[in-house]
Chain A
Amino acid sequence: MVDIVFSIGITALAGALATVAGAAEDVESDIGSQGDPNSQVQLAPQMGYIHRIYNKAIAGEPPAWGLWIALGAGIAWAFMVMQLNPILAIVLGAGLATFVQGVYSTTAYLGRTASLSKFGQPVYIDIIKSMTTVTMAHAFVAIFATVTICYLMNAALGHPFPLPLLGLVWGIALGAAGSATGNPYYGKERQYQTQNFGAGVPISASGNIVRYAEAGERNSLDNGFFTAKLGGPASGVCFGLIVFLELWRTVLFENVGAGWGAIIVGVIIILIFTVMDRFIEVWARKNYGPYTKPTEETSS
């Protein structure tokens, strides 16, 4: 009984940390245009729209976060082998991985922006100075929280994978969940704020991103401020639920029915999310209505 209570406590803590990690990951990605919307930031100068948006994307979010979290977890693990306190080891691991993220961000911004010189896009040194450190701060929060989750899974819950391997697995999952949830909100809702609300961006408008703020030119800190209100928290809840429910069903039900208990609970959770998804899909169709009258023509 004590073991189960302890494991549920660890599960809850891991879920809470994952929520923080997911939110920090998405805001970091939005400030740095790391996800798919980077294509528009890169395209804008080619269409004649010079801007001051930070663009540090070189890899997609999942592999980038897989690298940083695995790096943080690997360094933390090395320090722990040297008998360093686990909390201090995780802080040091996350700190060193954050510096790698900073180097990566700087070279990515310089490389990507310099490649646009023929279209007249300047490299802004003040952008590097002010944005890079902000993304590093968010990255530190996400890396520290995720490496701590991996440590809890390994040391407290007894998962067989070593810490760096868990870091790679959950780093990729973090990037996948954060980019899936947060990218549309940054890409459509923020970069194309001047387009109609409640509709996708027409392909003909590609590249015409919003470049001016309430005062002066818009920069990526404005984008972080905006996406931290919904895209970031939604990404956090998404990753938090993934970690929490995966651990919860295993911790509580893995010994029920020789392992089949956790499987049945997993199936039930999948069905619940399927019903919820169908509900909001139908809700949107009823409340937002069709854009045009139904036709008999095929759409493809």
Chain B
Amino acid sequence: MSALGGPKPAGGSTGIAPVPALVSLVIFVIIFAVMYMFGGSLGMTALIGIVIGGLLIGFGVHFVPVGGAPAAMGQAPGIATGVAMLAAGGGLAGLFGGAWAASQGTVVAVVTGAIGGGLMLAITCFFVNFIYIYGMGIPAASGKVKKDPITGDSQAEYKSQGTEGHGLPFVSFVGGVIGGILGGAGGTLIYLMLLNVYQTSLPGVMKATAAQVAPIAVSLAGMFAIGMFLVIAVLAAYNITGTIEGPHDPKFKRFPRALVASAVASALCGVAAILLVMV
């Protein structure tokens, strides 16, 4: 039985329930059919890019080690803040860099966004360990694995009494950086796809030159990219339910469910953002 009193979903806590997956698939197909009818090849290409961006964000959030309130008391490993908010902090910092590099081509911009997100979380994760070690005298220890999967360091004996662990073991640090990279890349990809659509369509819609609509196109694409990032990050956070240590945490195996939800949510948001200027 679940906490709400209903039956346990088929496939266990990490599996994908067939009925919601089927409903998701139907919604997904309908969204793409609508886009094919009204958006043409420009809209379809953009929507595919947005869905890929959404998948990158949804997957990336699962890598970010988040300990929430228990981490703030040294009761659990991870970063002491919310899943969605931390992922958004890293991903949006990546989007900032990616948007800056938009004129240098899609590949360079997406990679720049990815590195921007990774950089933000690398610095943040370093300072988490810095404050634990030099401010509080507490070494990093995982509560979910016996040994760090990357370094092989034993963990159990470094957990202080009555806690689930604390700080960021090396695997969690690496997970944070990977999460930032994926989030930054996904956010930037969504931004670039929308920017392309708006720069192409807005001059006709507003009967203005490309130079005149450029600030509106950038602002609209930026706002929708940030909005979609938050939608997908919150969805992934619900999938994680509270805290996660990183890729070694058993909760990480739940990511396929989040990918299904992220694909549908990003397609739904994407179709609204694209058809805004195409219908």
Contacts and interface: CB of A to CB of B under 8 A. Distances in A.
Nearest to B155: A299
Interface string B121-162: 011111111111111111110111110000101111111111
Contact of B85 (A175, A182, A274): A175
A60 B82 contact: yes
B28 interface: no
A266 B116 contact: yes
B75 A203 contact: yes
A173 B73 contact: no
Interface in A228-268: 230-231, 234-235, 237-238, 241-242, 245-246, 249-250, 254, 258-260, 262-263, 266-267
Contacts of B101: 250, 254, 259, 262
Interface stretch (B34-42, B49-57, B165-173, B255-263): B165-173
B101 to A, nearest CB: 6
B15 interface: no
A82 to B, nearest CB: 18
A238 to B, nearest CB: 4
Interface in A283-300: 283-285, 288, 290-295, 297-300
Interface string A157-194: 00111100110111011011101111111111101100
Contact of B72 (A36, A197, A202, A300): A36
Interface string A49-87: 000000000001111000000000000000000000000
B128 A180 contact: yes
A197 B137 CA distance: 7
B85 A294 contact: no
Contacts, number: 311
Query: Which 7 residue pairs of A and B lie closest in terms of their CB atoms, listed nearest first?
Result: A176-B89, A202-B162, A200-B74, A187-B72, A199-B160, A198-B137, A266-B115
30 contacts: A63-B85, A162-B222, A165-B223, A165-B226, A169-B92, A180-B80, A199-B163, A201-B73, A201-B74, A201-B162, A202-B160, A203-B70, A203-B75, A235-B127, A246-B93, A259-B101, A259-B109, A266-B115, A266-B119, A273-B126, A277-B122, A277-B170, A280-B130, A280-B133, A284-B140, A288-B138, A297-B156, A299-B146, A300-B144, A300-B145
Interface of A: 35-37, 39-40, 60-63, 159-162, 165-166, 168-170, 172-173, 175-177, 179-189, 191-192, 196-206, 230-231, 234-235, 237-238, 241-242, 245-246, 249-250, 254, 258-260, 262-263, 266-267, 269-270, 273-274, 276-278, 280-281, 283-285, 288, 290-295, 297-300
Interface of B: 68-75, 79-82, 85-86, 88-90, 92-93, 95-97, 99-102, 104-105, 108-109, 111-112, 115-116, 118-120, 122-140, 142-146, 151, 153-170, 173-174, 177, 215, 218-219, 222-223, 226, 250
